[in-house]
Amino acid sequence: MSTLLEQIESPADVKRLSVEQLKELAGQLRQFIIETVSRTGGHLGSSLGAVELTLALHYVFDFSADKLLWDVGHQCYAHKIVTGRKAGFDKLRQADGPSGFPNPAESEYDQFAVGHAGTSIATAIGMALGADIKKTDEKIVAFVGDASIVNGTNFEALNNLGLVKRQLLIVLNDNSMAIDATVGSLAKYFSKIRLSHTYEDMRKTTKNILEHMPIIGKSMEEAIEKIKKTIRMTLPGSQLFESMNIPYFGPVDGHDIESLIQLFEAVCELDHPAILHAYTKKGKGFEPAEQDRSRLHSTGPFEVNGDAMESVSAVKGRNFTDVFGEAIVELAAKDQSIVAITSAMCDGTGLNGFRERFGERFFDVGIAEGAAVDIAAGLAKEGLKPVVCIYSTFLQRSFDQIFQEVALQNLGVVFCLDRAGLVGADGPTHHGLMDIGFLRMMPNVVLVAPATETEVKGALEFALGANKCVCIRYPKDIVGAKDSESKACRKPFVLGKSVVVRKSADSQIVVVSYGAVLGEAIKAAEVLAGEGIEAEVVNARFAVPVDKKVVAAALAGRCIITVEDHWAACGFGSAVQEAVLAAGGKAGKLRMKNLAMGAEFVKPASRAQQLMQAGVNADNIVRTVKELISE
Amino acid sequence: MSTLLEQIESPADVKRLSVEQLKELAGQLRQFIIETVSRTGGHLGSSLGAVELTLALHYVFDFSADKLLWDVGHQCYAHKIVTGRKAGFDKLRQADGPSGFPNPAESEYDQFAVGHAGTSIATAIGMALGADIKKTDEKIVAFVGDASIVNGTNFEALNNLGLVKRQLLIVLNDNSMAIDATVGSLAKYFSKIRLSHTYEDMRKTTKNILEHMPIIGKSMEEAIEKIKKTIRMTLPGSQLFESMNIPYFGPVDGHDIESLIQLFEAVCELDHPAILHAYTKKGKGFEPAEQDRSRLHSTGPFEVNGDAMESVSAVKGRNFTDVFGEAIVELAAKDQSIVAITSAMCDGTGLNGFRERFGERFFDVGIAEGAAVDIAAGLAKEGLKPVVCIYSTFLQRSFDQIFQEVALQNLGVVFCLDRAGLVGADGPTHHGLMDIGFLRMMPNVVLVAPATETEVKGALEFALGANKCVCIRYPKDIVGAKDSESKACRKPFVLGKSVVVRKSADSQIVVVSYGAVLGEAIKAAEVLAGEGIEAEVVNARFAVPVDKKVVAAALAGRCIITVEDHWAACGFGSAVQEAVLAAGGKAGKLRMKNLAMGAEFVKPASRAQQLMQAGVNADNIVRTVKELISE
């Protein structure tokens, strides 16, 4: 590591540097980020692209008083490093290191712990309104990418920007490439501007802005009017924002740190909201990341080999995403009515193969989960079989659309919820711990969780044949080794029917597992068997409807231990308990125990660590069974 | 009723009429709607404004094959009447009459049962993509108001309109007045266009469109280019849509039925999406509705008195909304840090008084529930005490924002969920039956339900003092008469503490009620007492955290009957059951019964009818207690 970066302990140290030194620091930051992420994995491309913008912001603003709000937040590594978190960076996204997203618990320089897109502008508006009421004068900056600005909540916020009658700067970090290929008209529009815009044009725009910026004796509005006019003559970039009455500056070069400092100094004094549009290059400074921007959006550990890189992924075996990706291609080859929809997560949800083979039946709507679900509803209405692939946590954005446009209409939309359950390193914003609860309240919705590789395909086949809304959840994890699959898991899915994976009809103990945690239940049963305790293991498959056999077992007085990868509140075990108590008005002795996440946010760590801490693992199943028996 | 309307049994009958007859029919439809709504109550203004657009659409399109998608849907009365539902219209929004919103169960002319805003464009895109895949040629029309088009999901859809490579017409019904005053930049922008635009301008625009519309031998694109140029010369209305690459036509006069027919005939042949912007007058044809557009957006029964009207509301007593409205004004007068946020429901959530007195602390963001919550989060971050007032059903739109921007940050945002529980006439889209479930999964969130008038203020005081996220739910109902309030309900709210309303410590029966249904529990206990059966009645107040005393009572073997106005899945009773089973690993005999809504959508009827059907009423509590005792 080089000297300049070593000297940076806080943003105050950034402010002391010359422009030339800042350029040098930018290079050092990039190297540091590449080296770190090569060991830890993380969001590489976005953070590399935002280095100069980050330094210029910290140079001009004082974010111990001013407020910097990140959208999504995965582009904040440089920010984390210059705000005192450099030392722990080799443990990025690990249990005892800094998280991969902004986190106020780590630093006063972070405002909101985020990870979902679309929040920066509205929260910034809230803070600006708050400052106005309190009559404080901290400056507020929202930092948002081109992939996030098209999210509905950001648009709602832009439409309400007029509420703010004071300074509020939106920095639009336009790397013209979102998580996946950026989609939508606005992206095309941005990209059209970008293509027609040379480096020279950007210099000219910067110069125009700086020349016309208000100085003493010149009215602010007059200045903006002049700048707008000048810019409008050179390019049509301001059209959208102008129609929303938002003063727009740009596009400017997001890697020209000297100009950025001047620009921020100029616009930070405005007494109303404004947007500065900067072009950056995703993955800037790291050849492989520049070339394969989608792959290196989020990466596991890798080895840098000159300008190339090699993955050193330690993960053994195929994961649920891969298995799903193959299953949908296989089924879609036989059924022309299958269509797939995703929201900027084609790669992450395993749809690359589907897109390649069935491009005309594939739709990526960008970070727009609400629209994704509604488009799926329209497709189902026309008789097609839409499969909506969205991470569990992001599907929370579509809650109301699933309720009204799918469940209420009783439409056959299939939801494939990748990253359901604990996700490991991404932490609390990314765990999918609420899907069972928010979906099982809706009439007409069936909930399924496959436990094994065979079951992923089985569940999908069932869902596509059900002509109902079926939601399939599976975690970010490898699927159990094939030979651990009992014959039971190879049976076709039948609505509301569980399968017994380890039979022990005489045993008073029934472990009922929902989804991929089945492996832990089997392991526990084996351990118990070794100690002479027989337990039946049931693979529930369905959370809605709950299998009547499970209810009957509970009412018969057998001990039911439910196991799941979801918050205990409203989860699978809760559904079983509801069903048992509803059936058992005349209830006798009930012995039920639910193993699930407690009511606390779960910090970054490995998924295995997180499951262990929550007690959703074989050890704790064994412990629980013994406790129940000893009563 | 006059002759023309009597002859209309289906849209085919509309198609047979001359333009003059259509104008006459429009007048008759208006009279019919006014007369009906004066008896039944309903959404008056929007439906009156959309009469000519509706007739022109049915004249040009054939919606037995073509698809008409309504946004929100409360403007569809004329559509319902001309599509065979005239006969039952005197029972509008009642148990055995047509619902107040589109409903495919009623008619093949309806596509989606809606009621929430923001869905028409995305579902239309889905249907268009589906038609494309199926290679069918039905025409697709999305009908959306100016208040709905700014909703995030509609914007996400507009941004994805480029996916569609075939006909898809968006009719923008711009009555320049949403449910409440329309807010936001886009509304201001529309209104600026509107103000600068005379009737003569609209005629000219219409003429230009019609002149340049493609005819044989003239390319479609060329024509659109010409029209766009002509229109752009006369007004800047197309700027926003052009920046999103959406062909835009208008604005035109939405009450000139002759022009509308010509325009629809012209644009219906386009082989790509387009938007037609029509100006209409909300409440058109009914003086009181034109004058007080907000009040007559949704109205109870009234008497027409010449051009005036008098409310004949049969409702006795103050409702929860009124009581809340007074409480927040009273508290805000003493605490400058209280701010209120709503999403286009200032009147509906009882905030009119607050807005009048504390305008600088009041923010209405339009139909943008996601942004509303994020703005509140920003305000809380700045140390203010935001109170977010959104109907329970619409808060579903903010699920993810509450999770990430409020709960994860542990911010002190107060949510006041009006219309929680069954809402009566508005039906399944409007019931608030999921809020307990989706909110109680989130760590850091406290759930409260006041049962009485005193408790509304008590709950709000508690919430504002809690410095946590507290969600207060109450129904669309009158508050119980003051004298029915026991002394217990006057006690201040203490976190997680219920109050015993009817003491009977020796009784084996404990009825635990959550929220406004307490009245039914008390009534039931009185009936039971008359028959010599003593029951304790507990007013739970909190769903999160569950009172430990209730858990202890269950574990002690007392019969617990939980009563709530929510789906049984994930509701209050479910929370109690979870708590009891979690505490009672060593459980003995549990006797618990939950009275809540079953897992079916609840059709329009009166709220009392709906509660009765669901068994959430005194009679059923009595029945349940007797059953439990007889065991």
Q: Tens digit of pLDDT for each residue in A598-613?
A: 999 999 999 999 999 9
Among all residues of chain A, which has the CA nearest to that of B384?
Answer: A130
Q: Which residues contact A530 (CB under 8 A, 6 or more apart)?
A: none
The stretch B614-627 carries a mean pLDDT of: 96
Annotated catalytic residue, options A52, A106, A369, A405: A369
Cβ of A126 within 8 Å of Cβ of B441? The answer is no
Per-residue pLDDT for B250 more than 80? Answer: yes
Per-residue pLDDT for A588 more than 90? Answer: no
Cβ of A438 within 8 Å of Cβ of B443? The answer is no
Per-residue pLDDT for A377 more than 70? Answer: yes
Residue B417: what residue type? L
Can you say how many angstroms the Cα of residue A365 is from the centroid of all Cα atoms in its chain? Answer: 15
| Whether B282 is catalytic | yes
Lowest-confidence segment of A196-210, A263-277, A382-396, A406-420 by average pLDDT: A196-210
Per-residue pLDDT for A237 more than 60? Answer: no
Annotated catalytic residue, options B290, B369, B485, B536: B369
Give tens-digit pLDDT for B532-583. Answer: 999 999 999 999 999 999 999 999 989 999 999 999 999 999 999 999 999 9
CB-neighbour burial class of residue B395 (10 A; exposed 0-12, middle 13-18, buried 19+): buried
Cβ of A186 within 8 Å of Cβ of B244? The answer is yes
- Quote the pLDDT of residue B175: 84
Confidence class for position B203, pLDDT limits 50, 70, 90: confident
Per-residue pLDDT for A311 more than 90? Answer: no
- Quote the pLDDT of residue A308: 67
Confidence class for position A178, pLDDT limits 50, 70, 90: very low
Per-residue pLDDT for A491 more than 90? Answer: yes
- Quote the pLDDT of residue B237: 53
Nearest one of B472, B435, B380, B444 to B596, comparing CA atoms = B435
| Whether B591 is catalytic | no
Three-state secondary structure call for residue B213 = coil
Q: Which ipTM was obtained for this model?
A: 0.95
The stretch B105-128 carries a mean pLDDT of: 97
- Quote the pLDDT of residue A201: 80
The stretch B91-103 carries a mean pLDDT of: 93
* Average pLDDT of chain A to the nearest whole number: 90
For an interface test with B, which of A120, A153, A395, A438 has the most B Cβ atoms less than 10 Å from its Cβ? A153
* Contact present, A228 and A248 (Cβ < 8 Å): yes
Per-residue pLDDT for B145 more than 60? Answer: yes
Per-residue pLDDT for B467 more than 80? Answer: yes
Nearest one of B214, B243, B208 to B228, comparing CA atoms = B208
Q: What are phi and psi of B295, to 5 degrees?
A: -65, -40
| Whether A357 is catalytic | no
* Contact present, A140 and B340 (Cβ < 8 Å): no
Confidence class for position B209, pLDDT limits 50, 70, 90: confident
In A365-430, at which residue ranges do the beta strands (DSSP E only) sit?
385-391, 414-418
Segments in A3-93 forming alpha helices (H): 3-7, 11-15, 19-40, 45-49, 51-60, 77-80
Confidence class for position B340, pLDDT limits 50, 70, 90: very high
- Return d(Cα B389, Cα A461) in angstroms, integer: 43
- Quote the pLDDT of residue A177: 59
Q: In what order do the strands lie in the sheet with A385-391?
A: A362-364, A338-342, A385-391, A414-418, A469-473, A445-448, A542-544
- Quote the pLDDT of residue A234: 45
Three-state secondary structure call for residue A489 = helix
Cβ of B587 within 8 Å of Cβ of A588? The answer is no
CB-neighbour burial class of residue A140 (10 A; exposed 0-12, middle 13-18, buried 19+): buried
Cβ of B370 within 8 Å of Cβ of A587? The answer is no
* Among the partner residues A163, A438, A599, nearest to B443 by beta-carbon distance: A599
Q: Chain B residues with CB inside 8 Å of A576's CB?
A: none
Q: How far is A440 from chain B (nearest CA, A)?
A: 7
- Quote the pLDDT of residue A188: 73
Confidence class for position B1, pLDDT limits 50, 70, 90: very low
Give tens-digit pLDDT for A112-168. Answer: 999 999 999 999 999 999 999 999 999 999 999 988 998 999 999 999 999 999 999
Cβ of A578 within 8 Å of Cβ of B569? The answer is yes
- Quote the pLDDT of residue B302: 85
CA distances (Å), origin A337, targets A235, A458, B130, B413: 44, 18, 9, 45
Cβ of B589 within 8 Å of Cβ of A587? The answer is yes
End-to-end CA distance of chain A: 60
**Dihedral angle at the C-alpha atoms of B499, B502, B508, B514, nearest 10 degrees?**
-50
Type and span of the H or E element at B203: helix B199-212
Per-residue pLDDT for B490 more than 50? Answer: yes
Annotated catalytic residue, options B67, B282, B355, B440: B282
* Among the partner residues A125, A184, A570, nearest to B441 by beta-carbon distance: A570
In the structure encoding, which two tokens stand for residue A169, read together? Answer: 């700067």
The stretch B303-313 carries a mean pLDDT of: 70
The stretch B34-44 carries a mean pLDDT of: 91
- Quote the pLDDT of residue B178: 45
The stretch A220-249 carries a mean pLDDT of: 68
Type and span of the H or E element at B461: helix B453-466
- Return d(Cα A619, Cα B586) in angstroms, integer: 20
* Contact present, A430 and A455 (Cβ < 8 Å): no
Sign of CA dihedral A241, A246, A251, A255: negative
- Return d(Cα A265, Cα A471) in angstroms, integer: 50
* Among the partner residues A104, A159, A370, nearest to B156 by beta-carbon distance: A370
Summary count for chain B: helices (H), strands (E): 26, 19
DSSP B263-316: HHHHHTT-SSEEEEEEE--TTTT-HHHHH-TTGGGSB--EEEETTEEEE-----
* Contact present, A527 and A577 (Cβ < 8 Å): no
Lowest-confidence segment of A40-49, A208-217, A449-458, B53-62 by average pLDDT: A208-217
- Return d(Cα B202, Cα B213) in angstroms, integer: 16
CB-neighbour burial class of residue B135 (10 A; exposed 0-12, middle 13-18, buried 19+): exposed
Placement of tokens 């209120």 in the chain: B340
- Quote the pLDDT of residue A484: 61
3-state helix, strand, coil in chain B (%, to 5): 45, 15, 40
Q: What is the DSSP letter of B87?
A: G
Cis, peptide link before residue A545, omega less than 30° from 0:
yes
Q: How far is B579 from chain A (nearest CA, A)?
A: 9
Give tens-digit pLDDT for B225-245. Answer: 676 666 554 445 567 787 788
- Return d(Cα A346, Cα B67) in angstroms, integer: 30
Among all residues of chain B, which has the CA nearest to that of A367?
Answer: B156
Q: Which residues contact A389 (CB under 8 A, 6 or more apart)?
A: A324, A340, A341, A342, A345, A349, A350, A351, A416, A418
Residue B244: what residue type? M
Per-residue pLDDT for B610 more than 90? Answer: yes
- Return d(Cα B577, Cα A582) in angstroms, integer: 11
- Return d(Cα B340, Cα B320) in angstroms, integer: 17
* Contact present, A450 and A514 (Cβ < 8 Å): no
Lowest-confidence segment of A15-24, A306-315, B102-111 by average pLDDT: A306-315
Confidence class for position A180, pLDDT limits 50, 70, 90: very low
Per-residue pLDDT for A1 more than 70? Answer: no
Residue B598: what residue type? G
Beta carbons within 10 angstroms of residue B216's beta carbon: 4
Nearest one of A182, A120, A119 to A147, comparing CA atoms = A182
In the structure encoding, which two tokens stand for residue B414, read together? Answer: 């107060």
* Contact present, B423 and B431 (Cβ < 8 Å): yes
Give tens-digit pLDDT for A454-481. Answer: 999 999 999 999 999 999 999 999 997 5
* Among the partner residues B152, B239, B401, nearest to A370 by beta-carbon distance: B152
Per-residue pLDDT for B30 more than 50? Answer: yes
* Among the partner residues B113, B242, B403, nearest to A408 by beta-carbon distance: B113
Cβ of A157 within 8 Å of Cβ of B374? The answer is yes
Residue A189: what residue type? Y
Confidence class for position B180, pLDDT limits 50, 70, 90: very low
- Return d(Cα A53, Cα A226) in angstroms, integer: 25
Per-residue pLDDT for A554 more than 60? Answer: yes
Beta-bridge partner residues of B249: B276
Report which of residues B19 and B232 the model is more confident about. Answer: B19
CB-neighbour burial class of residue A429 (10 A; exposed 0-12, middle 13-18, buried 19+): buried
Confidence class for position A531, pLDDT limits 50, 70, 90: very high
- Quote the pLDDT of residue A175: 84
* Contact present, A188 and A202 (Cβ < 8 Å): no
Per-residue pLDDT for B293 more than 90? Answer: no
The stretch B409-415 carries a mean pLDDT of: 98
Report which of residues B247 and A416 the model is more confident about. Answer: A416
In the structure encoding, which two tokens stand for residue A220, read together? Answer: 């602010």
